[in-house]
A and B are shown apart, each in its own frame.
Chain A
Amino acid sequence: EDQVTQSPEALRLQEGESSSLNCSYTVSGLRGLFWYRQDPGKGPEFLFTLYSAGEEKEKERLKATLTKKESFLHITAPKPEDSATYLCAVQPSGNTPLVFGKGTRLSVIA
């Protein structure tokens, strides 16, 4: 069965304290891995798509990396406005919908 596990469930950081969120997956052939940001009461906002091991993508203070079994979302010198829930999703082989993890709730304290 295709599965996505995100850790930690919640993370509290001081402003400027860099850290990483983890997304580990077991799927029958990875075709794409997606990161989203979700603010409370809103829909998820697309951040990145990664397709193959070794790929990296960056956007402002965020950097996503991918290996054959997991992805990391690195947050460098976070600010309070980075506080949100970060969701990871994978697309297995074949024409199947995305499989989502339960998310990591990030709080950045000034």
Chain B
Amino acid sequence: DVKVTQSSRYLVKRTGEKVFLECVQDMDHENMFWYRQDPGLGLRLIYFSYDVKMKEKGDIPEGYSVSREKKERFSLILESASTNQTSMYLCASSLLYRVGETQYFGPGTRLLVL
């Protein structure tokens, strides 16, 4: 079974703090993704990576950066957290960067920025 884990289930941070969200997958997947999910807006893609040290912007990259130093680990960084970044953050991975590849999701991190 594919397993995608996220470093925290719940996180509370203050405005202006630097926040790291980590995601690890154990299935040797090539691709990894970061989404945020908000009521009424659905899932929105922030960044994705199809190889180590590679990254691509998604639909809403502003205010975020990512790091992929190892194949199994993909980090999302909020350089200076703001209240509008309060959200559910979901990491996903898929085997190959090829059409029709199923994405598998982690359990999510609910971030509250005060």
Enumerate chain A interface residues (CB-CB to B < 8 A): 31-32, 34, 36, 41-46, 49, 51, 87, 89, 91, 93-95, 97-98, 100-103
Within 8 A of A (CB), among B40-62: 40-43, 45, 48, 50, 58
Cβ 8 A contact of A95, one of B4, B42, B99, B104? B99
The answer to whether A93 and B43 touch across the interface, beta carbons within 8 angstroms, is: no
Say yes or no: A46-B58 contact (C-beta < 8 A), given A32-B99, A91-B99, A100-B43: no
Please, how many angstroms separate the alpha-carbon atoms of A93 and B98 in the complex?
10
The prevalent SS among residues of A at the interface is loop
Interface size range on B against A: 20 to 34
The answer to whether A51 and B58 touch across the interface, beta carbons within 8 angstroms, is: no
What would be 11 A-B contacts, judged by CB atoms less than 8 Å apart? A34-B103, A41-B110, A43-B4, A43-B107, A44-B43, A89-B103, A91-B100, A95-B50, A95-B98, A97-B58, A100-B42
Enumerate chain B interface residues (CB-CB to A < 8 A): 4, 33, 40-43, 45, 48, 50, 58, 88, 90, 92, 97-108, 110
Q: How far is the CB of A62 from chain B (nearest CB, A)?
A: 16
Say yes or no: A95-B97 contact (C-beta < 8 A), given A87-B43, A100-B43, A103-B42: yes
